[in-house]
Amino acid sequence: MTLKICVAQLNYCVGDMPGNAQKIIDAARAAYADGARLLVTPELAICGYAAEDLFLRASFIEACDDAVNRVARELAGLKGLTVIVGTPTHGNTGRGDEAAGGLRTKSMAVQQRHNAARVLREGEVIATYAKRELPNYQVFDERRYFTPGQGICVFEAGEGESAVRVGLLICEDAWFEEPARLTKEAGAELLVVINASPFHVGKGNEREVMMQNRVRATGLPLIYAHLVGGQDEIVFEGRSFALQADATLAGRAPGFKENMFQAQVERAQAAIKIIATTEPERGDDAELWDALVLGVRDYLGKNGFPGAILGLSGGIDSALVLALAVDALGADKVRTVMMPSPYTADISWIDAREMAHRLQVRYDEISIVPEFDAFKASLAGEFKGLPEDTTEENIQARIRGVFLMALSNKFGSIVLTTGNKSEMATGYCTLYGDMAGGFAVIKDLLKTTVFRLARWRNAHDPYGTGSAPIPERIITRPPSAELRADQTDQDSLPPYDVLDAILTRYMENDQGVECIVAAGFDRAVVERVTRLVRVNEYKRRQAPVGIRVTHRSFGKDWRYPITSRFRS
């Protein structure tokens, strides 16, 4: 009367088909020994999400096929176990695909690819389902790679009285009414949705609400299987969950960590009830911190970097990046360098030393004064009679970039840049200077969020690396690039609360100038800010990749031309 289902909420790596297959095999064996008879893996688990243009390589799809076949072979002896494996496929994988594509030659069929799932049992593929609804917005490009499926997939999991007819959907399918409705009409008693849905703040609740809508429309209980881990600029937070047939929450897996989420499906007469454990909800800032930590850890870990190095200035941005890096990697894998200039205030290096001491990371000081003087002397003839301006400021930033990259080259650690979203938006940063590095940790955090998150971290110690790591003065002093005497950020930018409010409306929510002005903002300030966003596109194109944590970042979901005369 009971079917135990296990969701393999695991951290899969793009392109590591042998490693991902082994994860699935190990998970299946452990789940089977614990009584599970249905193992569910997330969307495209066999190859990781998203493989981008690797999907266009026939050899990549073939390697995925080989890996799925290996999973089937190695689990063949587990009698009664059904395994759902997310994988790309080619050819006809769904009923009615021919109708979608018309008459097809063999060569045309090979060219068609599907975002699909294989259903395995005792060494055989008993069903294949191709995703019907392909997202093509924000960070998604699925129509570039895949052909929509036209079929449905309903199969039986479990044996005897415990058997349940399972309807399979893939991610975006469940955001539309028709796939779930057709699946129910085909006899499904339980919806299982496999997913790869990138994190942004608030996304977890959005998913649960949308799936509750799907449950209400169909009257079917639902299990939502999600992956976890960082992949370049995107993070997947896990948080798989289950909903009862009345749309109430039956259980939820923890976020930002691997988990074998178990759900027990019980049948009482015609009704199905799900029993599972529920991880408590966490606040937005806690999830935001976890997303950034996971993004750093996986970017370095999956790409083989032995550690990280960053310029520690005594300012708020580098302080936050340091705290994140230590939580992600441990103090022994993080190195900091303070590079004072003629304009560095004493309190900057005092606070930088203090923070490095609190977190027990390596800290070095390398003055840029000799190099700065040498540059000015070499250019004295060219600059004769001209006042100092941003040219000399940028020289200082570029000297620091050279030092950090030299240390990176010599010792192999990746340089973590410390620029935030407000700076990226307005170009308040230096190409080949503070933008020089390999990974932009807080690239998607507005400055006001940087301050808020710094205070959150000082009040919490989620990874046990030390409480209150950021000296209070770093948070309370006016921010400054310290590239000229008595400089503050507000010499060049509006107050950050005003700036960030405008950027949220203009950049993240696509509001135009007139709309923003109508909301009460000064027209001159709005026009200045939006102009800065437009003219600095060329800088952002040359910035390192960074972690996406909002619904719109300066990454895959921001694709504006550098050359354009359009004014919003």
Catalytic residues: 43, 131, 171
| Per-residue tokens: 278 | 């529920």
| Per-residue tokens: 136 | 């093509």
CB 337 within 8 A of CB 311: yes
SS3 106: helix
- Scored b (16 or more CB within 10 A) or e, 460-485 reads eeeeebeeebbbeebbebebbbbbbe
Phi, then psi, of 203 in degrees rounded to 5: -65, -35
Distance from C-alpha of 490 to C-alpha of 454, rounded to nearest angstrom: 20
CB 392 within 8 A of CB 373: no
- Scored b (16 or more CB within 10 A) or e, 504-534 reads bbbbbeebebeebbeeebeeebbeebbebbb
DSSP per residue, 287-353: HHHHHHHHHHHHHHHHHT---EEEE--SSHHHHHHHHHHHHHH-GGGEEEEE---TT--HHHHHHHH
CA–CA–CA angle 359, 360, 363 (5° rounding): 105
End-to-end CA distance of the chain: 61
Q: Which of 3, 64, 508 is nearest to 275 (CA)?
A: 3
Distance from C-alpha of 76 to C-alpha of 390, rounded to nearest angstrom: 67
Distance from C-alpha of 329 to C-alpha of 321, rounded to nearest angstrom: 12
Which helix (H) or strand (E) is 234 found in, with range?
strand 234-237
Q: What is residue 204's DSSP assignment?
A: H
| Per-residue tokens: 97 | 């695909």
Phi, then psi, of 188 in degrees rounded to 5: -65, 140
CB 8 within 8 A of CB 39: yes
The amino acid at 71: V
